[in-house]
Amino acid sequence: QSALTQPASVSGSPGQSITISCTGTSSDVGGYNYVSWYQQHPGKAPKLMIYDVTNRPSGVSNRFSGSKSGNTASLTISGLQAEDEADYYCSSYTSSGTLVFGGGTKLTVL
């Protein structure tokens, strides 16, 4: 199972919006609404930010939103804040009954 494709890095200024893409295939992202996104700060465990493509767990800011079109899922962060600077990973359930992660995207807040 190949990793989902994410851009290696994105950046934005405080207050701006950014979008991170996550491209897979019809056997994973495109075939299921089982896409999730995680935020990971250095030295910390990942934190679930979005699940089932668009849903936010309790306690996650509504500045974070998710969407999907075809085989590509996206995470949008609006009103960028300094504390949003982190690595972001997408993941998807697959037709093989496994889970695949994206390679990760480093978000820099300028």
Interface contacts to another protein, rule CB under 8 A: 1, 3, 34, 36, 38, 40, 45-48, 51-52, 57, 87, 89, 91, 93, 97-104
Q: Closest separation between CB of residue 51 and another protein, Å?
A: 4
Q: What is the per-residue burial (b if ≥16 Cβ within 10 Å, else e) of 78-103?
A: eebeeebbbbbbbbbbbeeeeebbbe
Helices (H) and strands (E) in the chain, counts: 0, 9
For another protein, the closer CB: 47 or 63? 47
Q: Closest separation between CB of residue 40 and another protein, Å?
A: 8
For another protein, the closer CB: 52 or 83? 52
Q: Indicate the pairing of strand 86-93 with strand 105-109.
A: antiparallel
Phi, psi values for residue 83, rounded to 5°: -70, -10
For another protein, the closer CB: 57 or 70? 57
